[in-house]
Chains A and B, each alone.
Chain A
Amino acid sequence: MTTTRALRLLAGTLVLTAAACGVGSEPADDDAASSTTAAGDTGAGEAIDIEAVAEAARDEEKLVVYGNPNADQWAPVLEAFGEEYPWIEVETFDLGGAEAFQRYLSEEATGSATADVIVNTDGGGWRDMVERGQVVDYVDPELEALPDIAVAAPGVFTMSVDPQVAVFNTAALPLDEQPTTLAELAEQAEELDGRIGTVEVENGQAGLATYGYVDARGEEAWEVLEQLGPHTGVESSGGALLGKLTSGEYVASFMASGVMRTLIETTETGDVLNYRYFPDATVMASRGIAVTAGAAAPNAAKLLVNFVLSEAGQTVMCDGGFTPYRDGVECPHTLATMQEEVGEENAIVIGYPEELATEGEAFRARWNEAFGR
C-alpha cells in the first residue's frame, strides 16, 4: 500500500513538472496589442473604408458574437445582415452582463476561441474593457449621420437606446388599478407586498438604467427605491422576471427591459401582460457594441457594427424589439417617439460615464441594502 501511495505521489509530481513548463509562457496577447492601435481618439481619426473591410472579411472564419439580446431579438437583424454580406457566417451567444466580459477575458488570456463582437449594456464592464485595451477603437463612417450618443465609450458604439419599462399582469392588476409613475408604485408597495418584481443591479442593463435614474433624480429617486425595496422581489434577469409576471407570481414590475414591449405587442403574452412608461423613471440605457481586441474575424466584426449603425440596420432592429435612435428611422419605438411620449426632459439617455467605474460599487451597495440583499 505504501508503494502505491508513493507512486501516486510520483505521478502527481510528474504532472506538476509537466505543468510547470507551461506556466511561465506569456499568454498570446501580441495580436491584441497591435490591433488596439487602429485609431487614437474616436472622432479625430479617419473613418474606415467599409468596402475594403468587406473584402478582407471574405478570408475570415465565422463571426462570433457574445451579446445580451436573445436569439429571437437577433433573428431579423442577422437575416438582413446576411442578405448584405452572404459570405459571413454569424453565431450569437446569449451572454450578458459581466459574464460576457469574463468569458471573453478568460478565453482571450488562455488562447481559446472567443468573441469577435460583444454587445452589452453593462456600462461599468465596458469602461473596464476599454481600460484593459480589449476594445478596438476606430471611426465608423456611419458616425457622421448619428448623434453624439453613438459613441458610448472609446470604441464602444451605441447600438440602441432601450428604455426600461413597467410591465404589469393585466389579469391580476387591471389597467385602472395600475400606478402611472414609479413614485405611485412605491406608495402601493406595501399593499402589493411580494408581488412587485424588478431586476438586480448586477444585471448590466437594469444596473445602468437604475444608475441613470438616481443620477438624474438624486435623493428623490433613492427615497422611492428605498420605499419599494422591502416589498420587491429581485430577479437576476429580465427573462426570469418576465416568466414570473406571466405566471402571476408578480403583478407589477419596474426597470424591466423594453424588449418585452415587442413580446407583449406581437404574441399571446399580450393577453396577460401590458406595459407602460413611468415618466419619472424612463431611462434609456445605451446598448453598446464593440469589436474585441482578440477578434479572430475583426473585419467581419466591423461590418456588423457598421450595419447596426446604418439606416438599414437601425430600421430592421426595430423588428427585434430594439429602440433605434438614428434620425428618420421608421419604427413605433424610437428615441424620438419616446421623447414625445414621456417628454423630452424625461427620456433620460445614459451612456457609460467614467464615474461608473468609481461610483458604481457604492451605488450597487446602497441599492442592495435598500432591497435587503
Chain B
Amino acid sequence: MTAATVSPPPTPSPTTTAGLRTAEPRRSRIPATASQYLLWGLGVVVIVGPIVPVVWASLWSTPLYEAGGSLTLANYGDLFSDPDWWTAVRNSVTFAVLTTTASVVLGTAMAVLFTRTDLPWRRVFGAAALLPVAVPGLPLILGWAAMYAPSGYATRWLDDTTPLPIFWDLYSVPGMAMLATGIAAPVVAMLVRGSLASQDSALEMAARTAGARPLRVLVTVTVPLLRPALLGSGMIVFALSLEVLGLPLILGSSRNVEFISTYLYDRWLNEVPPQQGLVSAGAVVLLAVVTLLLVVRNRLTGDAARFETVGGKATTTSPIALGAARWPLFGVTCAYLVVVLVLPLVGLLLTAFTTTLTPFVDWWTVLSTTHFETVLDDPVFSRSIRNSLLVAVIGAALATLAIAALSVVAHRSRFRFRGSLQYVMLYPRAMPGLVTGMAFFWAFVVLDPSGTARATLWAVGLAFAVRSLALGYSAFHPALAALGEDLDRAARTAGADWWTAMRTIVLRLLRPAMAVSFVLLFVAMLNDYDPAVFLVTPGTETMGLTMLKLWVGGSAGPVAALGVIQVVVTFAVLGAGRLAFGVKPRV
C-alpha cells in the first residue's frame, strides 16, 4: 500500500495516451488494486471476522482456550430451556417497547415544537434538548439515580413538601424505561428534525388555506410525512434498548430484574466455572435479532421516494402559530429540560462533591473533593483515566484514517467489491457492545493463545474502534459524497495514480470531515464501556468500565467524580469541535 502511495508516477508505458483519454490510466491500476484488496481484506477480517469465533464458541462444547471439545447445539438447548433467559428476554422486550414508544412520541413532539412552531426560545431549546445525547451514559444514570431513586433528592422533596404521589419507581422496568426515554427521545428528535427540515412547508400552508387548524395540519400533513423517519429512529432506539447494560445492572439488581445483557454478564462473570458457551449462544441470538431489526429497518425506510414532497425549491418555512398554548408549552418545555437534564447533572455534581449525599444531612455541610482525591490517588483509577484518553486519542485518529481509506475505496474506486465495504463499515452499529467485546475476546483466544495481545490496550482500543466505526463513517460519508468526482478525475488525467489522487485531492479536501469524524469517535471511545467487559485484563481498564465496576460495588462517590471528569472532557472536546469544525452530536 505504501509503495503505491509514495512512489513517483511510474515510467510512461505505451498505454499512456489511452489512459489520458479514458481518465483511467491503466498503468496505475495494478498497484492500486492490490492495495485496495489488502484494505478490503483487512477491513472485512477485523470488522466482521470476529463474529466467526463467537459463533464457533457458541457451537463448541468446551471453551475455545481448552483443548478438545466438539461441535454441539447443547449451548443453544441450555439457553432456550432456561426459564431465566426467557424472563430476561421478556424484561428486555418490555423495556425496549416502552422506551421506543415514549421516545418516538416525545422526540417527535420536540422536533415539531422546536422547528415548526413559534414557541419562544425554540432555538435554545432545540440545542439544549439534544444535550442528553452528548452526556456520557453512566454519569447521567448516576445523576438520575441521585435524584429520582426511591430515596433520591427529588423524590424525597416531592414526597415531603407536595401532595403529589410518587408514581414512578426507578428500579422497575417502567422506571428504567423512563430514564432511557430521557436519553433516547433526543435521538429521535435529531433524526426527525432532519426529515422535517427537508419538508416543504408549502404543503402545510396549503392545508391552512383550505381551512385546517394548525393542529389538524400537524396531524394530517406534517406527521404522516415523517413516517420513514419515525420508523427508522424507532427501530434504532429499539435495537439500542435491547443491548443496554449499565442501567439494569445498577438499577435493576435490587429488584432482581434481569435483562438480556445482565443475564449474559452474570453467567459469564459471576459464575465458576463461567458458562461461556451458553453466553456466546445468547450473544449470537441477540446479534441475530438486532441485525434482523436493522435489515428490516433498511427495507422499510428504503422506499423513501414515496415520502418526497413534490414542489419547487422549498421556500422559507413559516412557523405554525401556537396561539394561547405558546407560553404554557414554553413552561412544559422548561420543566422537561429541568427534569431530564438539569436535575440529573446537579445530582451528579452533588454526589461527586460531597462526602455522603443523604437527605438527612445538609449537602453544603459535607462538601469536599475527597472523591476526586481518591480517584487521582488510586493507581487503578488514575490509570483507567489515562487509558481512556489514550484509547480515545490514538484509537479515534487511527479509526478516522481507516474510515477515510475504506471510504475512498468504497466510493471513489473501481474496485470490484467496493459495494460491500459500506455494509462492512455500517454493520458494527448492529453489534451490541457486549457482543463486540465477546467476539474480540474469542478472536484473541483463538489467534493468540499466549494472551499477550489481549493484555495490551490495543485489544480494548480495537474493539472500541470497530464499535464506533459506523458513527465515524456516517459523519464522513456525506462530505465525501458531496465532493464532485471531477476533482479526482482531473488529478488522474494530469498523471496522478489513484492513491496520489485520493491522498492529494480528495482526502486533503476532506480534512474538516475527518476532523468531525475524529471528534465524534473520540467522544464515543472515551465513554464506551461494554465491549471492555469481557476483554479487560489487569492494566487495560478504561474509565467507563472502572465506573461500572465501582458502582456495582456501591461506591457512588468516586464514580460520580470519574463521571464529572468524563463529562468535562466530553464537552470540552465537543465544544472545541463545534467551534472549529461545526461538529454536531450524532447517534
Contact = CB atoms under 8 A, between A and B. Distances in A.
Given A102-B271, A272-B360, A26 B380 contact: no
A234 B272 contact: no
User: Which of A22, A102, A234, A239 counts the most chain B CB atoms within 10 A?
Assistant: A22
Contacts of B152: 247
Contact of A247 (B41, B52, B151): B151
B133 to A, nearest CB: 28
A292 interface: no
Contacts, number: 184
User: Which of A1, A70, A128, A236 counts the most chain B CB atoms within 10 A?
Assistant: A236
A60 interface: no
Contact of B360 (A64, A128, A248): A248
Contact of B359 (A15, A109, A244, A247): A247
Contacts of B44: 8, 11
A246 B149 contact: no
B417 A235 contact: no
Interface size class of A (residues with CB under 8 A): 35 or more
Given A4-B420, A109-B63, A19 B56 contact: yes
Contact of B52 (A3, A16, A125, A271): A16
Interface stretch (A92-100, A176-184, A338-346): A92-100
Contacts of A18: 447
Interface in A77-129: 91-99, 101-103, 105-107, 109-115, 125, 128
Nearest to A114: B538
B67 A25 contact: yes
B417 A4 contact: yes
B253 interface: yes
Nearest to B442: A19
Interface in B526-565: 537-539, 549-550, 552-556
Contact of A248 (B41, B151, B378, B446): B151
A19 B538 contact: no
Contact of A19 (B52, B66, B419): B52
B357 interface: yes
A286 B441 CA distance: 34
B13 interface: no
A27 B65 contact: yes
B412 to A, nearest CB: 18
Interface size class of B (residues with CB under 8 A): 35 or more
B298 interface: no
Nearest to A95: B549
Contacts of A234: 254, 256
Interface string A5-47: 0011001101110110011111110000000000000000000
A95 B270 CA distance: 11
Contact of B449 (A7, A25, A64, A103): A25
B537 A71 contact: no
Given A15-B45, A234-B256, A107 B451 contact: yes
A4 B553 contact: no
A112 B53 contact: no
A105 to B, nearest CB: 7
Nearest to A5: B420
Contact of A98 (B63, B272, B555): B272
Interface in A253-291: 267-269, 271-272
B149 A237 contact: no
Nearest to A271: B361
B420 A7 contact: yes
A67 to B, nearest CB: 12
A22 B446 contact: yes
Contact of B151 (A106, A241, A244, A373): A244
A94 B553 contact: yes
Nearest to A104: B272
B158 to A, nearest CB: 15
Interface in A126-166: 128
A193 interface: no
B554 A111 contact: no
B380 A102 contact: no
A272 B356 contact: yes
B454 interface: yes
A249 interface: yes
Contacts of B209: none
B361 A109 contact: no
A240 B256 contact: no
A267 B361 CA distance: 13
A243 interface: yes
A4 B356 contact: no
B366 interface: yes
A364 to B, nearest CB: 12
Interface in B361-384: 361, 366, 374, 378-381
A15 B420 CA distance: 18
A237 B150 CA distance: 18
Interface in A40-71: 64, 70-71
A210 interface: no
Interface string B141-157: 00000000111100010
Nearest to B450: A111
B173 interface: no
A207 interface: no
A240 B537 contact: no
A109 B447 contact: no
Contacts of B443: 15, 19
B64 interface: yes
A233 interface: yes
Given A8-B48, A243-B556, A91 B538 contact: yes
A241 B416 contact: no
B414 to A, nearest CB: 15
A249 B128 CA distance: 32
Contacts of B451: 107, 110-113
Contacts of B355: 267-269
B419 A268 contact: no
B327 to A, nearest CB: 37
Nearest to B534: A106
A19 B53 contact: yes
A188 B274 CA distance: 39
Contacts of A105: 272-274
B349 interface: no
B16 interface: no
A319 B410 CA distance: 62
A113 B538 contact: yes
A233 B254 contact: yes
A355 interface: no
B510 interface: no
Contacts of B361: 268, 271-272
Interface string B44-64: 110011001100100000011
A212 interface: no
A172 B414 CA distance: 73
Interface of A: 1, 3-4, 7-8, 11-12, 14-16, 18-19, 22-28, 64, 70-72, 91-99, 101-103, 105-107, 109-115, 125, 128, 169, 171-172, 202, 233-244, 246-249, 267-269, 271-272, 373
7 contacts: A8-B44, A11-B49, A109-B63, A111-B449, A112-B455, A172-B360, A248-B360
List 3 tightest A-B contacts by C-beta distance, closest first. Answer: A239-B554, A111-B451, A112-B451
Given A171-B360, A235-B554, 20 more contacts: A3-B417, A4-B419, A11-B41, A19-B446, A22-B445, A22-B446, A22-B447, A25-B67, A26-B67, A27-B65, A28-B450, A71-B374, A102-B268, A105-B272, A125-B272, A239-B553, A243-B556, A246-B358, A248-B359, A267-B355
